[in-house]
Structure 1
Amino acid sequence: MPNPFLDMHARLSALEKRVAGMIRHAPVEEVNPAEGWVRFDLGEGDNGPLLSPKVLYAQIAGGLKAHTPPTKGQQMTIFAPGGDMRQAVALPMTWSDQNKSPSDKGDENVLTFGSVTVVLKGESVKVTVGGTSFEIYSDGIRATAADYQFD
């Protein structure tokens, strides 16, 4: 005869496992920008690193579109509805020692990639590539290079 308490305990254990797997934070281990997926380092397994299955990563895809693939070591949040990693999506998380914020100011937005920096403020845009910059203000422009400046 089936024991309803054992059945309820088994169902509760399965539910706890699914809830525990719904949201987790982890560093990116592998990236495939062409297919739009990442794999995460979930810790050490019996035979070395334990990697997640392939998880699609979120992108901006409305009127404004951006191709910003994650990088190895980047912290992300894995959101898996119902705890099922096959339905998961990876969302950018936060700064880390490996990936620090490019600004600590509240009045500017800063984008960086390699030696390129773009700073957006309320009335100006500045693009810097290495030692060369181009600035647009509400009242003019400025171009600066190692051997040249134009105001």
Structure 2
Amino acid sequence: MSRILTDAIRRITELERRQANMLRIGTVEQLTAKPPRVRVRIGPLLTTWLRWLTYRAGNVRTWSAPTVGEQILVLAPTGDLAQAVVLPALNQDDYPAPGDNPAETVAVFPGGLRVRTLADGSAVIDATALTLKAGQVTIDAPVATTSTITSAGDHVADGISLKQHTHGGVDRGSSQTDPPS
């Protein structure tokens, strides 16, 4: 074969290889958090350490590391897997979809936390515990509870303190006030 033809075949073969590597399905095999990287198994091939895409990475930043065993997509725009990035994710038997209602968005986290947003604008948070830390919390809605409310602080309703209000016309000692009217 002529040198020109041999060179053309080599170049075509390389282009075909790169094209085949542009988008591949793989499984996360290893993960490191600092720096955030994963190694992905694509058939017999184990990639080098690759970055994964995140939802936001500017003034607003999000963190959600892939899971070892999670199926993902590897995107290599030039076909060079060493320069690829990891795209999330494909449901599979080990990690099935957490919902089946197209009108809901559902997120499930390790430990049992489940967050659902519904088409009517409501949200449901199922958790073993929930801590809200803020300088102030305002709830602009009626509040209902199905269990006991425990507080280490005071309760104030219409300016009346539960801990510090007094009742007039009561004899000190064992006397009780009348029930509220």
TM-score bracket, normalised by the shorter chain, equals: 0.7 to 0.9
Q: What is the TM-score normalised by the length of structure 1?
A: 0.79
RCO (CA 8 Å, sep 6+): is it higher in 1 or 2?
1
Q: Which residue of 1 is the match for residue 88 of structure 2?
A: 92
Rg comparison, structure with higher value: 2
The Cα shift of 1:64 comes to 4.9
Quick check: 1:101 aligned with 2:101? Answer: no
Which secondary structure state, in structure 1, belongs to the residue aligned with residue 43 of structure 2? strand
The Cα shift of 1:42 comes to 2.5
Q: Which residue identity is paired with 2:70?
A: Q
Quick check: 1:119 aligned with 2:116? Answer: yes
Which secondary structure state, in structure 2, belongs to the residue aligned with residue 81 of structure 1? coil
Structure 2 unaligned spans of 5+ = 131-139, 150-181
Task: Describe the superposition over 1:14-70 as per-residue Cα deviations: whole angstroms up to 9, x where unpaired.
Answer: 1111111111000100111231111012334xxxxx421111000011565321100
Which secondary structure state, in structure 1, belongs to the residue aligned with residue 67 of structure 2? coil
Using the alignment, how far apart are the partners of 1:68 and 1:10 within structure 2?
Answer: 41
Using the alignment, how far apart are the partners of 1:82 and 1:12 within structure 2?
Answer: 14
Which secondary structure state, in structure 2, belongs to the residue aligned with residue 76 of structure 1? strand
CA contact (8 A) 2:28 2:39 kept: yes
The Cα shift of 1:11 comes to 1.0
The Cα shift of 1:143 comes to 4.7
Instruction: Give me the CA root mean square deviation.
Output: 2.6
Paired positions, count: 139
CA contact (8 A) 1:32 1:38 kept: yes
Q: Which residue identity is paired with 1:22?
A: M
Using the alignment, how far apart are the partners of 2:106 and 2:144 within structure 1?
Answer: 19
Q: After TM superposition, what 4+ stretches of structure 1 lie above 4 angstroms from structure 2?
A: 138-144
Greater share of strand? 1
Quick check: 1:78 aligned with 2:35? Answer: no
Q: How does 1:24-35 map to 2 (within 5 A)?
A: 24-35=24-35
Using the alignment, how far apart are the partners of 1:142 and 1:11 within structure 2?
Answer: 70
CA contact (8 A) 1:142 1:149 kept: no
Give identity over the alignment, percent: 28
